[in-house]
Amino acid sequence: MVGVPERASDALLTCIARFGLSKTTLDDVAREAACSRATLYRYFDRKGALVTHAVDMELARMTALAVAAAGREASLADAVVALVTVSARELVAHAALQFLLAHEPESVLGQLAFGPGDRLLVRVGDAYAPAFHRWMSHDDARRAGDWLARVLRSYVLMPKPSIDLTDTGAARSFLEELVVPGLESAGRSERERAGYPGS
């Protein structure tokens, strides 16, 4: 049986995709989640608390999917392409996120840039890093995670992207040409500095 916090998070996303964040109340969420107001308020006394919980859940869910997709690949380049395309598709297909970007952009964009953007990049970078431990040190893997989070923010969430990262072919040629060499060279020069044999 799914717990109240999970059901409430899903119900909130359904409500947002239907009529936005500002018009959604905790009462709407309770109705959508088919639980009583009293039960919902025991977990979330304010809408803000539920929004924070839902963002945490969605970030964890989407980054885990992307890392799992990368885990099925045999080379670093393929892992990067898998992680980026899966993330891009999750973001583009996210009904609640896309509703907010289209109709209440101020609710999302304030969390994406400047100071709050810093914190988000670090969180997503940390979540992505394990996808690259097979090929580089933990520090370099975190760097790679940070950088791919940054690439996704610019090319998927900002207006007028010139490259469609949901498309495997377009993503592959862009990533292999411009992005992966920068991640690989970071790892390589680290090994060279440390005097690893055979590098």
Q: Which residues contribute to the site for other proteins (CB under 8 A)?
A: 105-107, 109-110, 112-115, 117-118, 121-122, 125, 142-143, 146-147, 150-151, 153-155, 158-160, 162-163, 174, 177-186, 189
CB of residue 142 to other proteins, shortest distance in Å: 8
Least distance between other proteins and beta carbon 191 (Å)? 13
| 104 in Cβ contact with 22 (< 8 Å) | yes
The angle, 0 to 180 degrees and rounded to 10, between the axes of the packed helices 4-19 and 26-33 is 110
For the chain, the residue count is 199
How far are the Cα atoms of 58, 81, 84, 96, 191 from residue 176, in angstroms, in the given order?
28, 8, 12, 31, 21
**36 or 169: CB nearest other proteins:** 169
- Nearer Cβ to other proteins, position 55 or 186? 186
Q: Which is nearer to other proteins, 3 or 159 (CB)?
A: 159
Q: How far is the CB of 162 from other proteins (least distance, A)?
A: 6
Q: Judged by CB, which is closer to other proteins: 1, or 102? A: 102
Residue whose pair of structure tokens reads 């992005």 in the numeric block: 179
CB of 39 to other proteins, least distance (A): 32
Q: Residue 115 CB, nearest distance to other proteins (Å)?
A: 7
The CB-of-74 to other proteins minimum distance in angstroms stands at 21
Closer CB to other proteins, residue 73 or residue 184? 184
What is the C-alpha separation between 42 and 55, in angstroms, rounded?
A: 19
Angle ∠(21,26,32) on CA atoms, nearest 5: 90
Residue-wise DSSP of 71-98: HT-SSHHHHHHHHHHHHHHHHHT-HHHH
Decide if 168 contacts 109 (C-beta within 8 A). Answer: no
- 159 or 195, CB closer to other proteins? 159
